[in-house]
Structure 1
Amino acid sequence: MITLADLGVIRAVGLAPDGAVEVVITPTYLGCPALPAMTEAIREALADCGHPDGRVRQELTPAWTTDAITPEGRRRLAEHGIVPPGPATAPLPLRLGLGLPCPNCGSAATRPQSPFGATRCQAVLVCTACRETFAHLKAM
């Protein structure tokens, strides 16, 4: 659906001082339960590309923000019914998802239903027009 690069999680790819291919990632937040799966998927991709000794290194600073999501990543999130976040520096109503268009009917008559969705980085909104719930990736 969306790549780690489009999410802005992959910060750099290059050669380490010892010559091994190294991918630098910044998790979306500390304690992200998807981090082991993301790390393993990157290692597998490196091995599939002929770099079995490739490694993944985490950098926590600068911290990941939703501003790192690429335009393509935002488009793909929206295609799959997840409302992409506004800028992390946006006014509070926008960061909370108030008035974001419903991905099902397009109405801006939306409101928060739950501060957490399938993951901690998502909130659940409800559209008062079509009564459907949908995920909103929170601005961070």
Structure 2
Amino acid sequence: MMSTQTINIATVYASLEHVMDPEIPVLSVVDLGMITGVELEETGVHIKMIPTFAACPAVGYIQQQIKTTLESELGVAVSVEVDKQVHWQSNRMTPAAKEKLKNFGIAPPKVLTGEISTEIMMEVPCPHCGSEQTYLRSPFGSTLCRAIHFCKACGQVFEQFKPLE
């Protein structure tokens, strides 16, 4: 069991890498950019996090997973709070997260440099074959954060993680 004196921010982030998104189990909360703050306190660790979408039904589950994982791995009390001051943007995802998404069969969001345009939702390369001959079948996928596309080249239906600013 560690004490809060032997824990540092890097140790906490290493442990957070083990907390996976329940809908996309190849991505951690760190990969997704969901962690907005880590505070080391005398009584334990305080984590601030944000959901990828405001109405995400997995928020409570993710909070519990963070608490359970960190308490188990670090041996200290952990509190987890939803940060209401920060809003998640798809640009918070790490480049490694976008590569993991692609390898998982979900098209990653493009980097946003301005407002979301129709093109950014329509021009999505296929994560299976790389073709740009795709079209948007539905802006609504299996979860709030995904859209459904079809690839004319390989015939695959695939999801895209929606860009969000």
Give the TM-score taking structure 2 as reference length.
Answer: 0.77
Q: Indicate how the Cα distance of structure 1 residues 115 and 62 shifts in structure 2: closer, same or farther if over 3 A, else same.
A: same
Q: After the TM superposition, which residues 1-140 of structure 1 pair with which residues of structure 2 at under 5 Å, given as runs?
A: 1-16=26-41, 19-49=43-73, 50-51=75-76, 53-88=77-112, 89=114, 92-96=117-121, 98-140=122-164
Alpha-carbon distance, 1:107 to partner? 1.0
Q: Indicate how the Cα distance of structure 1 residues 22 and 91 shifts in structure 2: closer, same or farther if over 3 A, else same.
A: closer
SS at match of 1:7: coil
Contact 2:116 2:163 in 1 (8 A): no
Aligned Cα RMSD in Å? 1.5
Alpha-carbon distance, 1:90 to partner? 5.8
Percent sequence identity over aligned pairs: 31
Task: Give the letter for the 1:36 counterpart.
Answer: G
Which residues of structure 2 form unaligned runs of 5+? Answer: 1-25
Greater fraction helix? 2
Runs of 4+ in structure 1 displaced over 6 angstroms?
none
Contact 1:95 1:138 in 2 (8 A): no
